[in-house]
Structure 1
Amino acid sequence: MGTGNRNEGFLSHASTVAVLGAGALGAAMATRLGDTGHEVRLWNRTEERARAVAEHAAGVTAVGEVGDAVSGASVVLTVLRDGDAVADVMSDAIDRLDNDAVWVQASTVGPQSAGALAALARDHGVAYLDAPVSGSTAPALQGKLVWLVAGPEDVIARARPLLDDLGSSVLHVGTGVEGSAVKLAVNAWMAASTVAMSDVLALCDALGVDHATFVRVLEAGPLAMPYELQKVGLMDDSSYAPGFAVQLALKDIELAEAAAAPSPLLQVVRDRLEATVAAGHDNDDLAAVDYLRRPSS
């Protein structure tokens, strides 16, 4: 299969990592890995995007061909939009992986696609982790992502230096594709709670409740949710700088709906996300769902 010699030991801390995907999360991961001493090869289908990241990131080199990015890498980290994109890229690249490489599949693809990707890895003798993350660009840059990892414990141990440099927690949730299943549930909760926060702010306005007072009450008791309390500030400031894009949240809700029985809640969330995309906020942060409640919208 690959070009390297098989070695079942741990990866050294300063390893060569191929990051495939230079979107917001992939770029942040590559930057963090470069900052923590890894040699990072960053590939993106649009090469200019990888070059723009590498220009400002120590230890990161933009690579034009995906095969060149993965050849000789200790870890191949896929951070692409969906399962079809990952399958397309890795089908071309997988024969270039070294025998001792670990493929860390961090894209949000859903359990069905994750199973197909695991089978691709298995058919080519590649060590594979189903390993999406909870967290977006800021936690990635700070090394505070939460890994939702499914796979053999020995493979996790081999990839541990990379996982630890990017994350504050590595949660081993199973040995198959449970990571992708948990990720869908987490993202459904994230999107639903953000839509709920926007609607409750509208209720506050109707009741004459100051948003700061509402937040203070939440912070004083067990109902505080730091992620959504942060969103209150973004919503009040109409500040939707990209963090987790609305279009990606919509993609994940659609994956969740396809994987489960119909849910009235998820239908409402999907409708709100679709309306936000239609209003031109597809690439904005999820907080942009609040745009629709404003009188000027």
Structure 2
Amino acid sequence: MSLDLPPLSGQKLGIIGLGHMGHPMAKRLKNAGAQVYIHSRNRSRLEELEQSGMIYCSSAAEMAEKVDTGTLLVCVSDTSALEEVVHGDYGILTGLQPGALVIDMGTSQVMNTRSIAALIQQKGACYLDAPVSGGVVGAEEGTLSIMVGGTEEGFLRAGPLFDVLGKNISHIGPSGTGQITKAANQMIVAMTIDAVAEALVLAQAAGADPGKVQKALRGGFADSRILELHGKRMIDRTFQPGATATIQLKDVHQALELADHSGVTLPGLSKNAELWENMLAQGLGQYDQSGFICMIENLQSIQENKQGDE
């Protein structure tokens, strides 16, 4: 009688970037049976992962060599970091083996994504852009939404890995379309956080309990995961970041750059970007996205002070 093997048993997987998202993703992949190689600019953060049996690599190039024809996941913070990881002096391209699969699971600019995909393919390897949504909780629980751009062959090959990390997994189309979808996601997130924050500030100022208002709105047309999770954080005043306001603003700017490249005007997002910029100007950039309500409250205080001085 044969024993069932873990879903990723025998697979070689490398993960570059072990921050808020990469760390729990690495643990899930290791628990699913993969032989996991890890690399981060700060090795001291990797002690727990190394103790669990993951193998440290001193560079992305070394990881690419050791993973061989396996899979490399990149979970870095922005497009410039992705560019450095891929074709820096000790980047993936230096050690990349034909037949390997490279997956960018961060949020990167579409135009750069397509250029990087072409470089990877010239080396005889496959590239997917597969950004995620669902935050740290989703990464820990394996319930991420994963939006994938690239070939059908690459998507099918990555299927068992994606099944370990997520629940809502969609192949959108060719290279770049995963990142296009993530840009749309981040637009909706940024603007909905604004709407929820302003609604709760209005409720408080007009004499209603914001907590009761938030609960009452659940299940109606105004309901959303933003109202559920970020609205609750706003009420509880818990602003320890899953994703920071700084990262959210980066994503908003990236969406606006894509809109400009595509010849599209987005007036609502342009105004929303000004508000996120204001949040950073107030020194709140390392707050969770839900800390946006603090910026709105600060604007209200400034307005009240101006009226008091008149």
Answer whether TM exceeds 0.5 for this pair: yes
| Structure 2 residue corresponding to 1:63, chosen from 57, 65, 71 | 57
Which blocks of at least 5 consecutive residues in structure 1 are unaligned? Answer: 1-10
AA aligned opposite 1:282: G
- Could you say which residue in structure 2 is the equivalent of 1:32? 28
In 1, distance between residues paired with 2:228 and 2:256?
27
In 2, distance between residues paired with 1:195 and 1:53?
37
In 1, distance between residues paired with 2:36 and 2:227?
33
- Could you say which residue in structure 2 is the equivalent of 1:278? 281
Any conservation in 2 of the 1:72–1:97 contact (CA below 8 Å)? no
AA aligned opposite 1:28: P
Q: Structure 1 pair 191/85, CA: closer, same or farther in 2 (3 Å)?
A: same
In 2, distance between residues paired with 1:238 and 1:294?
12
Deviates more, 1:213-222 or 1:232-241: 213-222
- Could you say which residue in structure 2 is the equivalent of 1:54? 49
Q: Which structure 2 residues correspond to residues 121-140 of structure 1 after superposition, within 5 A?
A: 121-140=120-139
Any conservation in 2 of the 1:234–1:240 contact (CA below 8 Å)? yes
1:96-138 CA-to-partner distances (Å, cap 9, x unmatched) read 2332221111121121111111111122121111111122111
The two structures have a TM-score, normalised by structure 2, of 0.85
| Structure 2 residue corresponding to 1:21, chosen from 7, 12, 17 | 17
Deviates more, 1:263-272 or 1:108-117: 263-272
Q: Which structure 2 residues correspond to residues 45-194 of structure 1 after superposition, within 5 A?
A: 45-49=41-45, 51-54=46-49, 58-73=52-67, 74-91=70-87, 92-194=91-193
RMSD over equivalenced CA pairs, Å: 2.0
Deviates more, 1:186-195 or 1:80-89: 80-89
Q: CA deviation at 1:52?
A: 4.2
1:37-70 CA-to-partner distances (Å, cap 9, x unmatched) read 2222111123323x245257x3433322222222
Which blocks of at least 5 consecutive residues in structure 2 are unaligned? Answer: 1-6, 303-310
In 1, distance between residues paired with 2:122 and 2:55?
30
In 2, distance between residues paired with 1:53 and 1:136?
21
Q: CA deviation at 1:184?
A: 0.4
Any conservation in 2 of the 1:47–1:63 contact (CA below 8 Å)? no
Any conservation in 2 of the 1:95–1:124 contact (CA below 8 Å)? no
In 1, distance between residues paired with 2:48 and 2:288?
20
In 2, distance between residues paired with 1:231 and 1:291?
13
In 2, distance between residues paired with 1:66 and 1:76?
9
In 1, distance between residues paired with 2:50 and 2:208?
47
AA aligned opposite 2:35: E
Q: CA deviation at 1:258?
A: 1.1
- Could you say which residue in structure 2 is the equivalent of 1:265? 268
- Could you say which residue in structure 1 is the equivalent of 2:206? 207
The size of the alignment, in residue pairs, is 285
In 1, distance between residues paired with 2:61 and 2:55?
14
The two structures have a TM-score, normalised by structure 1, of 0.89
AA aligned opposite 1:231: H
Greater Rg over alpha carbons, structure = 2
- Could you say which residue in structure 1 is the equivalent of 2:307? none
- Could you say which residue in structure 2 is the equivalent of 1:234? 233
